[in-house]
Structure 1
Amino acid sequence: MIQLIASDMDGTLLGKKMEVHAENIDAIHYAKEKGVKFVIATGRNYAEAITPLKEAGIECPIISANGAQAFDEAGNELFTIEIDKEIAKQIMNALNHDRVYYEICTQNSVYTNSMAQRVENMAIHVAHQIPHLTFKMAVAMASAQLDELPVTPIASYDELINNPEHKILKFIAFSHDEAEVLGPIRQVIETLDDVVVTSSYPNNIEINHHNAQKGIAVKQLADQLNIPLEQVMTIGDNFNDLSMLAIAGVSFAMGNAEQDVKETAKYITDLNTEGGVGKAIKRAIDENL
């Protein structure tokens, strides 16, 4: 019997307009009625994750920034795993050398040194989710989403590195030429100590402390709840979900998931736009997977 369900957000729990599908909401409440605990495991920071959940009336623990932080239902911090500042400087040097746009996530916010680049990257994401949109419409939608996805402009990332009050949780770098640009950068960064590089979309790489992975965080939460991994279910769609799909007794890939993700998961569910998370939850409970 499943006792704990961990779900990704973007491309998984959330639909095209970054909303939680009604079928997913119903299934989460159904799971809770059955005594099954539900947790979010996302690449977003806490502030980005909590907004659509509040709108959907979902209260649950949140694993954020790919496992760099975790919070209970009330928003109390459970743990934080930061990147060493000296390693962070080396990561910045690698990213700056190739002049790719990147953002930095701390315990306080996501920071950008170019709001125009931020909007452009969000527009590309929106256009990918809704192919019939013109890019101009995608930019308009991306600009509107800035109110829902808190981001802090900053003149120089050195302000974060040099301020001891800031904990560096994650870097996320973007490029339209993934193989040519991000591939070599990834190879350089992966040689650094105590870092892991994943991806949540084909046009980005995400850099965390090696221990800040969704799979590690889900296992830690399950251990705290005395729930064996055989009774844990995970749901995801992209490469930063692989670690939690690999450890769970029951794992679902979304119908829109990357092929490697589908091959890792034990089961495949419907698209994120068609309530795939809700269908997976009800199937797992009703069929006692």
Structure 2
Amino acid sequence: MNYKLLAIDLDDTLLGQDLKISNRTQKLIKEARKQGLRVVIATGRMYSSALPYLKQLNLTKETITYNGALVKQVASNKIIDHRPVPKKLARKIVDYVEENNLHLNLYLDDQLYVNKSGFGADYYERISGVKPTLIKGKLSQCIDQPSTKLLIVEENLAKVKEVLVALQDRFSDDLNVTASKAHFVEIMNQQASKGRALKKLASDLNIERDQIIAIGDSYNDLDMIEYAGFGVAVDNARDKLKEKADYITSSNDEGGVAEIIEKFILN
């Protein structure tokens, strides 16, 4: 099969536990692009947090960020698609957060705002490289515009599952609520997901599903993996993703993305 597009998740997929892209993977991506492959990063990260990796790989075209809520072209900084969480729904999430004393990330104009310091703020800053702004005063008063997404960060993993189920039960008709990293509950516009963003981008580029490989590790990668003609889970992926994948590659720390490029693109 002559694949034309490779969509790659960042954290726990392309990036190792050291949050770096291996030299081997960088070289193979460069070689594949020389042969005409379109490489698209599809991440839950903020655009500003993904940008250093895009620059490292010299990717100047479209990138999918915020789990599909924001698609931008790197070279021009042009917004191709933006599907934020409506203010009314964001305020309902804020009410839930305040009732349950949770940590919340708000994303306004690609800037990060948090409602409290502590584990959530420190952990997110460490992995994203983005310094948050602490909100002073009532959280609901900050929702004066739609937030690109909302993110709950919780140290207690049992609490993460509890929050995820509660929000999915309450908001499944209005919002896309999913999980990415173990401590994260991701809340997006109902029409925002990696799969939907990839489908729209492929249509704009006149690329068929069977010409696409997508690689990921977690629940927020699920519809992207299912949409692509060849859906791949890294070996460290969630079991549900592995069940849906067409192929399971090596883990993120063992060069899983590089393996796919070598086996199925540069063969």
TM-score calculated relative to the size of structure 2: 0.90
Q: Deviations over 1:75-108 (max 9, x none)?
A: 3211100111111111111122111112112332
Q: Deviations over 1:25-60 (max 9, x none)?
A: 112112211111010100001000002332444444
Aligned residues: 262
**Which residue in the other structure is 2:194 paired with?**
214
Higher relative contact order (CA 8 A, sep 6+): 1
Instruction: Determine helix, strand or coil for the equivalent of 1:223.
Output: helix
**Which residue in the other structure is 2:10 paired with?**
9
**Which residue in the other structure is 1:40 paired with?**
41
**How many Å apart are 1:227 and its aligned residue?**
0.5
Instruction: Determine helix, strand or coil for the equivalent of 2:148.
Output: strand
What amino acid maps onto 2:87 in structure 1? K
What amino acid maps onto 1:54 in structure 2? K
**Which residue in the other structure is 1:135 paired with?**
none
**Which residue in the other structure is 2:160 paired with?**
182
| Residue 204 (str. 1) matches residue 184 (str. 2) | yes
Q: Deviations over 1:130-180 (max 9, x none)?
A: xxxxxxxxxxxx3xx67x32433322433430x24xx3111111223333x
Query: Residues of 2 paired with 1:266 and 1:14: CA distance?
Result: 21
Query: Residues of 1 paired with 2:207 and 2:164: CA distance?
Result: 35
- Cα 1:14–1:60 shift into 2, 3 Å: farther
**Which residue in the other structure is 1:229 paired with?**
209
What amino acid maps onto 1:283 in structure 2? K
Instruction: Determine helix, strand or coil for the equivalent of 1:44.
Output: coil
What amino acid maps onto 1:272 in structure 2? N
**Which residue in the other structure is 1:109 paired with?**
111
What amino acid maps onto 2:133 in structure 1? T
**Which residue in the other structure is 1:152 paired with?**
133
CA contact (8 A) 1:8 1:40 kept: yes
**Which residue in the other structure is 1:170 paired with?**
149
**What are structure 2's unaligned runs of at least 5 residues?**
none
Q: Deviations over 1:94-134 (max 9, x none)?
A: 122111112112332121122333454349xxxxxxxxxxx
CA contact (8 A) 1:21 1:274 kept: no
**How many Å apart are 1:14 and its aligned residue?**
1.1
Query: Residues of 2 paired with 1:237 and 1:62: CA distance?
Result: 18
**Which residue in the other structure is 2:81 paired with?**
79
Query: Residues of 2 paired with 1:110 and 1:264: CA distance?
Result: 33
- Cα 1:153–1:6 shift into 2, 3 Å: same
What amino acid maps onto 1:189 in structure 2? L
CA contact (8 A) 1:62 1:70 kept: yes
RMSD: 2.0
- Cα 1:204–1:112 shift into 2, 3 Å: same
CA contact (8 A) 2:164 2:185 kept: yes
**How many Å apart are 1:198 and its aligned residue?**
0.8
- Cα 1:186–1:258 shift into 2, 3 Å: closer
**How many Å apart are 1:220 and its aligned residue?**
0.5
Q: Deviations over 1:231-285 (max 9, x none)?
A: 1110001111001001110111112111111111111111212221121122121
**What are structure 1's unaligned runs of at least 5 residues?**
124-141
**Which residue in the other structure is 1:96 paired with?**
98
% identity of equivalent residues:
30
What amino acid maps onto 1:205 in structure 2? V
- Cα 1:150–1:122 shift into 2, 3 Å: closer
Instruction: Determine helix, strand or coil for the equivalent of 2:232.
Output: strand
